[in-house]
Amino acid sequence: MTVVLQVSDTHFGTEQPFAMAALERLCGDLQPDLLLVTGDITQRAGADEFTRARAFFDKLGVAARLVLPGNHDIPLFDLFTRVFKPYERYARAFGTALEGEFERDDLLVIALNTTRRYRHKHGEISRAQIDRVAERLARAGSQQLRLVAVHQPLAVTTDADVDNLVRGHEHAMRRWAEAGVDAVVGGHIHLPYVLPLRERWPELPHPVWAVQAGTAVSSRVRAGIANSVNVIRVAPVRSAVVERWDVDETAGVFRQVLSTAIAGGRSVEP
- Within a domain: 79: yes
What is the domain-level CATH number for residue 71?
A: 3.60.21.10
Per-residue model confidence (pLDDT) at position 15: 98
pLDDT at 204 over 70: yes
- The DSSP bridge partners found for residue 211 are 185, 194
Total residue count of the chain as it appears in this document: 270
- Within a domain: 122: yes
Contact assessment for residue 246 and residue 255, using Cβ atoms and an 8 Å cutoff: yes
Strand residue runs (E) in the chain: 3-7, 34-38, 64-68, 100-104, 107-111, 145-149, 183-186, 193-196, 209-212, 228-235, 239-248, 253-263
3-state secondary structure of 133: helix
3-state secondary structure of 172: helix
Contact assessment for residue 58 and residue 252, using Cβ atoms and an 8 Å cutoff: no
- Within a domain: 269: no
pTM of this structure = 0.95
Dihedral, 137, 140, 146, 151 alpha carbons, nearest 10: -40
Per-residue model confidence (pLDDT) at position 265: 53
What is the rounded distance in angstroms from the CA atom of residue 260 to the CA atom of residue 227?
19
Number of domains in the chain: 1
Residues 6+ apart with CB under 8 A from 190: 9, 214, 215, 220, 221, 222, 225
* C-alpha distance across the termini of the chain, in Å: 20
- Within a domain: 72: yes
What is the rounded distance in angstroms from the CA atom of residue 145 to the CA atom of residue 11?
29
Please write the tens of the pLDDT for every residue from 59-105: 999 999 999 999 999 998 878 788 889 999 999 999 999 999 999 99
Please write the tens of the pLDDT for every residue from 221-258: 999 999 999 999 999 889 999 999 999 999 999 999 99
Per-residue model confidence (pLDDT) at position 82: 82
- Within a domain: 219: yes
- Within a domain: 157: yes
Contact assessment for residue 234 and residue 226, using Cβ atoms and an 8 Å cutoff: no
Please write the tens of the pLDDT for every residue from 169-198: 999 999 999 999 999 999 999 999 999 999
Please write the tens of the pLDDT for every residue from 147-161: 999 999 999 999 999
* 199 CA to centre of own chain: 21
Residues 6+ apart with CB under 8 A from 106: 1, 2, 143, 144, 145, 234, 236
Give the range of the structural domain holding residue 93, as residue numbers without chain letter. 3-263
Mean pLDDT check: name the lowest of 194-203, 231-240, 261-270. 261-270
- Within a domain: 270: no
Task: Look at residues 34, 33, 77, 41 and name the one whose alpha carbon lies nearest to residue 218.
Answer: 41
